[in-house]
Structure 1
Amino acid sequence: MAKKKTRRTDHDLIPDLMRFIGSYVVMTEAQKVVLATYVMHTHIAQYCQQTPYIFIHSPEPECGKSRLMEVLELLVVRPWMIVNPSDAVLFRKVHADMPTLLWDEIDAVFAPKSAQFHEEQRGMLDQGHRRHGRVPRFIGDKVTEFRVYCPKVFAGIGTLPDTLSRRSIPISLKRRAPDEPVDEFILIDVEPDAEALQARIGAWVDEHGETAATTRPTGIPESISDHMKEGCFSLFSIADLLGAGEDLRKALEEILTGDRLDAQQTMRMRLLTDLRLIFAVEYRRTGKARRFMSTDALIDRLHGFEESPWSTYYGRGLEAKDIADLLRQYGLHPRLVNVKGERRRGYRRNQHGEDVGLAEVWLRYLGADETAVDPDAR
């Protein structure tokens, strides 16, 4: 008698999608749960009343944003990967096909210097989260109402316009550390696994898609905003049907109540570099790596750098709150520490409990800790 093959169950879908996505990009478990569920959502979006957007961002380049977009392209329904589309192409493609829009390098569109030239696109995206969203345009000698609803995934550095940000689930990526391996992404090798997952998703959607899209979920965390809550109805319904409801609720609560990326990536990297230099000078001077420096001491040294922007930052000089704002996206926060009997607020070099240390961030984004820096190199 032939041995039966092991059948993957519906409840394996979310974990299997998480494993596939997480094989090629370093992410948190919460981010994997959200993206796996969102992949499922794209396949039933045609039945839904709303769709949330996804915004994949990072403090700096080379953190895996484009690779994650390539992975998602293999899994979502009707993927359309774009960079800098014209208004005419964008409107007509979405109207005709209702694709899953995968928009990479969107920071080039909504950067402060270029946003004024892309108001048409922003208006289209503002309306595109609702199934019946329409944007009228005068084409030729008549008014055409373009359908603008479809799932949308954006990737970039910086921020989205506020109206888009409120409708987007942020996926914040970090630069991969040396001890965080990922699988090699060779398209011809990964396509068979992706196609198998697509087939399983299709079979599930045929049986449960309309139910998932039209079921009103319960138990949505109160911390999720009203702007986001309705858009995520189908995500909760999908996760509940697939046995991942509690995981998704915790994941979304964690992600949506966290800090969002600001638009100061260049100044952040400059600050990281200068802070590392400050610690390097102390190391070369004393032969010991400083474990902590107060914010006041750091500001004093930053203001002392020649040809630096810190003494004239915002026309008033760098302040403690500016350092906190710039470093927050790396997971760095000022802490109170006892120094010679006095309580001082500042930043630790090494990780302390759950707190990220400067050295970890230097390693991720600058490639070395302060002991490897020549303080005379400036």
Structure 2
Amino acid sequence: MIRPASHEHMSGPAEGTTVSDGAQAPLVFAWSVLSSTRHVVELSRGDTVIYSDTLNLLSAKHRERFAAALHAKTKEPPARLQAQLLRLANEVHRYLASGDDGPSADKRQGLQGTALEITPPEPWSQPVELIDALNDFADLLRRHVVMGQAETVACVLWTAFTHAVDSFDVAGYLVVQSPTRRCGKTTLARLSAAAACKPLYAASVAPAALFRVIEKAKPAFFLDECDAYLAGNEELRGLLNAGVTRDEAYVVRCVGDDFEPRKFSVFGPKLLAGIGRLPPTVEDRAFIVRLQRRAKGEKIDRLTRASLAQAGEIGRRFYRWYLDHRGEIQADADPPIPESLNDRQGDVWRPLLVLADAAGGPWPELARRAAVALSAEGVDTDELPIRFLADAAAALQGYDEISAADLAERLGADVESPWATYARGKPISPEQVGRLLGRFGIKPTKRHGRRTYEVGEIAAACERYCPKTGEVTAPTAPDDPSPNAAMTYEGAVGAVGGSKAEATAPHLSPNAAMSYGDGGSRGSKWQGVRQEKRLFDGLDGLASAMEGAK
């Protein structure tokens, strides 16, 4: 074990890895941690230290240089040394993620339940192309769940994001909804959890357990059946509302016999699955995936242990890619974002767009199509005040001013609107109209002996809070829920931060630059592949197109 240096902030446990060298004593690797990015690695044979240096084990480039230096000292094959260093990197990452200072010393007795074991997966043994892992997971999801193109893209990128969350400051939620049972929510959640990093799957969670588990283990939470326990649980909803932005995702609680105030993190990726809608404040921070029950004639595969094992292997590939490329991801990356997304939607989609750009191929375009399809800003009819503004503006076409009584009469005349029964089964009253308009700062003025509202003020508020759906430049995407139908994409991305031909990806390393003029090309392998792109079950066609473009 390496003795801690005098300037060491924390030291790792006694971890060692050996490399056999014929008849000689085995080579032993050992490590200690100075900080999250500075690790001391020592190679010894018996009692003799052969080589020791400080590096960032989590960086593929650092490991490669260190392996070259070790090769010069020991003549061991570089590939073999790099494999050993990768194992050390995984141990260091597990140690940093656990927040532990070594083996637990308090084995308390009498505790109910089972201890939580939340650890990242074993990284894949070979370097990974992110685009291949994304494609394979998309195909796996489509074979087991009836879902559309945009929903699949969002689920795949979000699952990959759980491995890279340490590189970002915003973690949007994946909300999986259905109108009724047996629509595939649990199947989707289980597949995503199997491929995620440090998943914690639960059918219920108490608010105190949520923030304590996140503070200790920083898992990716998978909360199923949340329609059964989230409604009316204001404390849990408040924690979920706060858990999206890293710098703001804290709650303060008094702990211990002295009631010492301590802060607990609630930041991290979370999947919420349930029947029906969630509170608007939660959905506003999420990617909304709506599932439908499979129709007669639509065939999907049954979820088996083999399917979950396949998802787990894809998760290992996601994790290996992140370990090798985490140094290339910038926390303040600002990729082109579709103009139809509002500020919060842009924030939660930004990490997924960064990963899509890193993957290249059709994924930059697919990700932006999905963002527009799932999150494009329109009238939020779930909030009655905003619905009121939208309906009032529609009812006032051709008017310059109107009284509260006249507006109430026009709104109440629509028997299919909520205003026909807004007042306990009766049409909305003029007083209620006045109160709803007052929430937006719209006040009446006295003119010609009566109090009226300026239609221009109502229209201005409507434009601010509920943009016209006709202004949303969402591209038309295929709406074919059949899991066996090949998805094709061709043409422009839509309104993506200006000109698609000039949009670049400056948030990536210079060696991985890409542009959207060719669908997000990454290197010569993708140059010219602008023809019809096939994903999901049409992956064979895409592979053929790639081979032809080489």
Per the alignment, do residues 232 and 210 of structure 1 end up closer, same or farther by CA in structure 2, a change over 3 Å counting? Answer: farther
- Aligned counterpart in structure 2 of residue 227 of structure 1, from 324, 341, 344: 344
1:122 aligned onto 2:237: yes
Which residues of 2 match residues 198-209 of structure 1 at below 5 A? 198-209=315-326
**RMSD of aligned residue pairs (Cα, Å):** 3.0
- Give the match's secondary structure for 2:208: helix
Deviation at 1:143, TM superposition (A): 1.1
Deviation at 1:192, TM superposition (A): 3.2
The CA distance in 1 between the partners of 2:293 and 2:185, in whole Å, is: 10
Contact 1:212–1:234 under 8 Å retained in 2: no
More off after superposition, 126-135 vs 193-202: 193-202
1:44 aligned onto 2:154: no
Encode CA deviations 1:170-215: one digit per residue, 9 max, x unaligned: 000001112111111112x223322321221122101223433525
The CA distance in 2 between the partners of 1:249 and 1:79, in whole Å, is: 26
- Give the match's secondary structure for 2:263: strand
TM-score between both structures, scaled by the size of structure 1: 0.64
Name 2:193's counterpart in structure 1: 73
Instruction: Name which structure has the greater RCO, CA cutoff 8 Å, separation 6+.
Output: 1
Name 2:228's counterpart in structure 1: 108
Report the AA paired with residue 245 of structure 2: R
Per the alignment, do residues 74 and 355 of structure 1 end up closer, same or farther by CA in structure 2, a change over 3 Å counting? Answer: closer
1:135 aligned onto 2:251: yes
Per the alignment, do residues 175 and 135 of structure 1 end up closer, same or farther by CA in structure 2, a change over 3 Å counting? Answer: same
Name 2:425's counterpart in structure 1: 315
The CA distance in 2 between the partners of 1:312 and 1:53, in whole Å, is: 33
Deviation at 1:127, TM superposition (A): 1.1
Report the AA paired with residue 122 of structure 1: R
- Give the match's secondary structure for 1:23: helix
Contact 2:194–2:309 under 8 Å retained in 1: no
The CA distance in 2 between the partners of 1:102 and 1:213, in whole Å, is: 26
Deviation at 1:262, TM superposition (A): 6.1
1:238 aligned onto 2:348: no
- Aligned counterpart in structure 2 of residue 59 of structure 1, from 179, 183, 186: 179
Point out where structure 2 has 5 or more consecutive residues left out of the alignment: 1-125, 384-414, 416-420, 428-477, 481-550
TM-score between both structures, scaled by the size of structure 2: 0.45
Runs of 4+ in 1 over 4 A off after TM superposition: 258-263, 311-314
Contact 1:158–1:261 under 8 Å retained in 2: no
Greater CA radius of gyration, 1 or 2?
Answer: 2
- Give the match's secondary structure for 1:71: helix
- Give the match's secondary structure for 2:271: strand
1:29 aligned onto 2:144: no
The CA distance in 2 between the partners of 1:143 and 1:90, in whole Å, is: 18
Deviation at 1:11, TM superposition (A): 2.2
Contact 1:59–1:261 under 8 Å retained in 2: no
Per the alignment, do residues 312 and 248 of structure 1 end up closer, same or farther by CA in structure 2, a change over 3 Å counting? Answer: closer
Name 1:217's counterpart in structure 2: 334
Encode CA deviations 1:231-273: one digit per residue, 9 max, x unaligned: 222111100010111110011101112888969xxxxxxxxxx
The CA distance in 2 between the partners of 1:9 and 1:110, in whole Å, is: 39
Report the AA paired with residue 13 of structure 1: A
Report the AA paired with residue 139 of structure 2: R
Which residues of 2 match residues 278-293 of structure 1 at below 5 A? none
Identity of aligned residues (%): 28
The structure that is helix-richer by fraction is: 1
Number of residue pairs the alignment of both structures matches: 265
The CA distance in 2 between the partners of 1:235 and 1:120, in whole Å, is: 28
Contact 1:45–1:51 under 8 Å retained in 2: yes
More off after superposition, 201-210 vs 90-99: 201-210
Deviation at 1:124, TM superposition (A): 1.3
The CA distance in 2 between the partners of 1:201 and 1:152, in whole Å, is: 18
Per the alignment, do residues 184 and 176 of structure 1 end up closer, same or farther by CA in structure 2, a change over 3 Å counting? Answer: same
Name 1:361's counterpart in structure 2: none
The CA distance in 2 between the partners of 1:314 and 1:262, in whole Å, is: 19
Deviation at 1:312, TM superposition (A): 12
Encode CA deviations 1:31-71: one digit per residue, 9 max, x unaligned: 11111111111101122111111110011121111111111
Which residues of 2 match residues 241-280 of structure 1 at below 5 A? 241-243=358-360, 244-257=363-376
- Give the match's secondary structure for 1:74: helix
Contact 2:171–2:269 under 8 Å retained in 1: yes
Contact 1:94–1:149 under 8 Å retained in 2: yes
Deviation at 1:80, TM superposition (A): 0.8
The CA distance in 1 between the partners of 2:242 and 2:345, in whole Å, is: 14
The CA distance in 2 between the partners of 1:261 and 1:157, in whole Å, is: 18
